[in-house]
Structure 1
Amino acid sequence: MTRPILLIVDYNLSRIDEVRHLRDYARERHGATVVLIRADPTEADHAIADEVIDLDPLRDDFAEMGEKLLGDRRERIRAGIVFSDNAVRSGAELLERLGVAVDASPPAEGAFSKYRYRLGEARVADLLAAQRVMVPDFAQIASLDRLRDFARDHPKGFVVKPAAEGNNRGVVVVRNGDDLTAAFAEVLPYLEGGVICEELIPYRREYSVDGLGPLVFLTEKISASGRYPVEIAQVLPAGLDDHERATLERAGRQANWLVGQCDGPFHNEIKLSDDGLHAAVVEPNRRPGGMKIWELARWVYGIDLHHHWIDTAFGTAAGVGRLVPGCSAATVLLGVGSDRSFSPDDVAAGADPFADAVQDTAERFGLADGELTVTEFSWLSRERRDLHAVARDNADFAAQGCVVLRGDRADIRPVVHALREAWSEALDRALELPAPVRKSR
């Protein structure tokens, strides 16, 4: 019997483990052959798929070329998923051409281009205002003079950022009196792809409305303060009152409508006012959230959303009831204590600074064995890199770790901050030779 095909359209390399997880389930549950489409595929890509097609989703003729390359297998292609921002529109168009169920491709451009999304908001600004969703003023810029014009019109501050770029790269907060020439210099590398200025959203708290189809959960984002508002942690479940949850879910639904999300995944980043009645969308995404958010959901809610995504794509997904948290969890980004050249090879053999940091944090909060546990840890790169102590974007972090907190002796938020402090100290110790002796519990 001919095996059905699952088509995976592109992914970001940092998410290769998720693709492997999707592949394994598609093979086991649906007996599927997995075909991956990706530009300039590597050996690692060939190792996680049965077949790899070299095709760039940013090509103008991507959907047309993909249809030609896959046309002889059209009848076997039973399901498809799009797993990158670069492919969100073109990948959906390809699946439409192949007759595979997918969320609509035309509005998906708003989930790739921040500028296109703001244009979409502006067209329905009155409707959004009636729902207490702020639509920030914005402009596309290509010169220092245009930046100065925007700064003059927005003395309370604004954000300069690439129109289409992830991982907080190139995002600069500009306040009254800041050096505009320096701010423009920081976004110069992104001018070709487009740079926008946005009125500063006056809300301090940030969350994401995450989910798949009708399944929704809220994730709390912890960001650094100052010039570079990079995220430093994601926390589940978000600590919210009922009216705050309603505000965020309302804004998240409206973001989904604007970018055409219906059955597929979403990760909409949203800021919330102090009174919990007003919100503003930072950016929408038609893909699972990064920083292991779906993995956090598996530990907290007991549901594997990757499996559910594959079942949804094949049209066999069963209904799921309300998501009820059984614990709390966080993904934490871990930096360096001072500006330095760093490689994981600098860590002394046998040292485990993250385990040490978690142990020190547990002792600080008086937690018992098993209440604060490590679920994942990874170095973000094995290469030697120059890292800033004050991270400018996510590439300035050395590692990423996930923890689960059980019981009610501590709140996950102060635990996250304490863990990052403990990590800095533990990493400094681990860089000394010989490696420190681990404490026994």
Structure 2
Amino acid sequence: MELPAGRVVMVGFGKLLLHQMDGFLPQDSVVVVEDPDIVRKRAVHDAAAGLRCVGSVVAAPYHQDLAFVAAVEEHLAGEPVALVVAGLEYGVHGAAVLAERWGRPGAGADAAAALTDKLRLRAAARAAGLRNPEWTEVHGPRDVEKFAAGGPVVLKPANRHASLGVQLLEPGDDIDAAWELTVSARDDLMLPDRELTWRYMAERRLHGHEYSVEALVRGGRIVFLNVTDKLTAGGRYPVELGHVVPAALPDTVREGFGEAMARLVEATGYDTGILHAEWMLGEDGPVLIECAGRVPGDSITFLLDAAYGGNVIRTLVELLAGGDPRLPGDAPMAAAIRFLTAPAGTVTDVTGVEEVAQRPGVLRASVTVAPGDRVAELRSSWDRVGEVMLLAADPAAARAAAEEAAAAVRITADREAAL
């Protein structure tokens, strides 16, 4: 479809998302809204200069602040708006507020508020009868200790992203130390320097296999759904290490995920856009972990495009512009990604990347560290050091090939050299 005339307003500078949109959006059509502190820290003006579709940047506070609304409207000076999109997790609520204000398709402000605060999401899901773990808001280590009552729990921030501060605690773990680590976990590059309000929660540990569900929604109805098989790190920090699209599941199980997602859409009042929900598959069906109201990270959109043979970002843009885009059907292929990790320390050698990149079916093989770089302990997504992505005939073949390719990339590090 041809997009309607008007500006594309993006709340939060989503650099990767803009690169994906750059091939089909009109030149200079995008207005990026970003907090002044982050414009400076991420050198947004310089980064945006390399993107054909970006026309301007509005520096205005939007993190837990609505001051940006007036600033954007002053900048637009009455120009029509074709669509509004969140560039980042932290921009989800702001994008929904603008879309609702201007009568454009979007999540809806109330739905976005629930999707950016896990405590509000839990309350909405519970009211709708969805399966949730037992949970509570916590304000300090004694609250966590009381809730845990000697059992395993998950401690996490309620309104951050990228698995920052999430910990799986076992009986006997030092809860005071865990609390300090969770509340001190900050993604400073993505946040303004001013003080913000953070909330924290504790949950009973779930047991089962983890999946995510990606759904395109129009007018409160799911029009496309995919289930992604997930691999997460063991131990205290459940960092995501790999994905397979689509998951190899019996039809009845996939239908169960679809039914759970439909109830979640209804529970939050979500209207139009994309959802990325994480679920644990238990004996009685899917149990909700969390849900994001924005484009999934971890290269999942690339996996979707490879497996289904479409362009999910363009489809999303067309939905947000009020269109009726052609939607993907069944996936004729399977795609997988395996994220690379390394021991904490100073990198001494990296081998195997070039060989892996030449293997049949490999779409991407990259490492983000080189000898001399410091690797931190694996505590969040930011601590991963590369990825291997590939396409195969079916999910089992994709998973096996991704594991084999990842094992062929060797990153060695000297722990003593880092001390």
TM-score, length basis structure 2: 0.84
Deviation at 1:295, TM superposition (A): 0.9
Q: Aligned pair 1:135/2:132, yes or no?
A: yes
Give the aligned partner of residue 252 of structure 1. 261
Give the aligned partner of residue 320 of structure 2. 313
Two-structure CA RMSD over aligned residues (Å): 2.7
Give the aligned partner of residue 10 of structure 2. 8
Pairs within 5 Å for 1:9-28: 9-12=11-14, 16-27=15-26
Deviation at 1:10, TM superposition (A): 1.5
* Structure 1 residues 68 and 381, CA gap change in structure 2 (3 angstroms): farther
* Structure 1 residues 407 and 400, CA gap change in structure 2 (3 angstroms): closer
Deviation at 1:101, TM superposition (A): 2.3
Pairs within 5 Å for 1:8-87: 8-12=10-14, 16-27=15-26, 33-40=29-36, 41=39, 42=44, 43-48=46-51, 49-62=54-67, 64-70=69-75, 72-74=77-79, 76-87=80-91
Cα distance in 1, alignment partners of residues 73 and 8 from structure 2: 17
Match of 1:412 among 390, 393, 398: 398
Deviation at 1:293, TM superposition (A): 0.8
Give the aligned partner of residue 330 of structure 2. 324
Counterpart amino acid of residue 314 in structure 1 = A
**Conservation of the 8 A alpha-carbon contact between 1:23 and 1:34:** no
1:115-140 superposed Cα distances (whole Å, 9 cap, x missing partner): 1111222333xx33xxxxx2212122
Give the aligned partner of residue 387 of structure 1. 375
Give the aligned partner of residue 268 of structure 1. 277
Deviation at 1:171, TM superposition (A): 0.9
Larger relative contact order (CA 8 Å, sep ≥ 6): 2
Describe the SS at the equivalent of 1:256.
helix
Give the aligned partner of residue 434 of structure 1. none
Counterpart amino acid of residue 332 in structure 2 = G
Give the aligned partner of residue 131 of structure 1. none
* Structure 1 residues 104 and 188, CA gap change in structure 2 (3 angstroms): closer
* Structure 1 residues 64 and 183, CA gap change in structure 2 (3 angstroms): same
Describe the SS at the equivalent of 2:90.
coil
Give the aligned partner of residue 438 of structure 1. none
* Structure 1 residues 68 and 295, CA gap change in structure 2 (3 angstroms): same
Deviation at 1:311, TM superposition (A): 1.6
Cα distance in 2, alignment partners of residues 377 and 18 from structure 1: 20
Give the aligned partner of residue 183 of structure 2. 188
Match of 1:302 among 287, 290, 309: 309
Identity of aligned residues (%): 20
**Conservation of the 8 A alpha-carbon contact between 1:66 and 1:94:** no
1:148-192 superposed Cα distances (whole Å, 9 cap, x missing partner): 11111xx44110011112211111101222222332232131595
Q: Aligned pair 1:113/2:130, yes or no?
A: no
Q: For structure 1, which runs of at least 5 residues remain unmatched after alignment? A: 129-133, 360-368, 430-441
Give the aligned partner of residue 151 of structure 1. 148
Deviation at 1:383, TM superposition (A): 11
**Conservation of the 8 A alpha-carbon contact between 2:11 and 2:94:** no
1:328-352 superposed Cα distances (whole Å, 9 cap, x missing partner): 211221011x32124xxx667xx6x
Deviation at 1:240, TM superposition (A): 0.5
Describe the SS at the equivalent of 2:103.
coil
Counterpart amino acid of residue 264 in structure 1 = G
* Structure 1 residues 23 and 258, CA gap change in structure 2 (3 angstroms): farther
Counterpart amino acid of residue 324 in structure 2 = A
Counterpart amino acid of residue 21 in structure 1 = Q
Cα distance in 2, alignment partners of residues 258 and 67 from structure 1: 31
**Conservation of the 8 A alpha-carbon contact between 2:13 and 2:87:** yes
**Conservation of the 8 A alpha-carbon contact between 1:39 and 1:55:** yes
Cα distance in 1, alignment partners of residues 155 and 340 from structure 2: 25
Deviation at 1:405, TM superposition (A): 2.0
* Structure 1 residues 85 and 257, CA gap change in structure 2 (3 angstroms): farther
Q: Aligned pair 1:341/2:346, yes or no?
A: yes
Match of 1:209 among 213, 218, 228: 213
Give the aligned partner of residue 285 of structure 1. 292
Bigger mean CA deviation after superposition, 212-221 or 246-255: 246-255
* Structure 1 residues 148 and 17, CA gap change in structure 2 (3 angstroms): closer
Bigger mean CA deviation after superposition, 224-233 or 173-182: 173-182
**Conservation of the 8 A alpha-carbon contact between 1:79 and 1:100:** yes
Counterpart amino acid of residue 117 in structure 2 = S
**Conservation of the 8 A alpha-carbon contact between 2:9 and 2:32:** yes
Cα distance in 2, alignment partners of residues 83 and 285 from structure 1: 12
Q: For structure 2, which runs of at least 5 residues remain unmatched after alignment? A: 187-196, 218-222, 414-419
More strand by share: 2
Describe the SS at the equivalent of 1:24.
coil
Counterpart amino acid of residue 240 in structure 2 = E
Q: Aligned pair 1:422/2:408, yes or no?
A: yes
Cα distance in 2, alignment partners of residues 383 and 146 from structure 1: 44
Give the aligned partner of residue 236 of structure 2. 227
**Conservation of the 8 A alpha-carbon contact between 2:211 and 2:230:** yes
* Structure 1 residues 407 and 81, CA gap change in structure 2 (3 angstroms): closer
Deviation at 1:358, TM superposition (A): 6.1
Match of 1:173 among 168, 173, 195: 168
Deviation at 1:194, TM superposition (A): 1.7
TM-score, length basis structure 1: 0.80
**Conservation of the 8 A alpha-carbon contact between 1:67 and 1:94:** no
* Structure 1 residues 384 and 54, CA gap change in structure 2 (3 angstroms): farther
Deviation at 1:82, TM superposition (A): 1.9
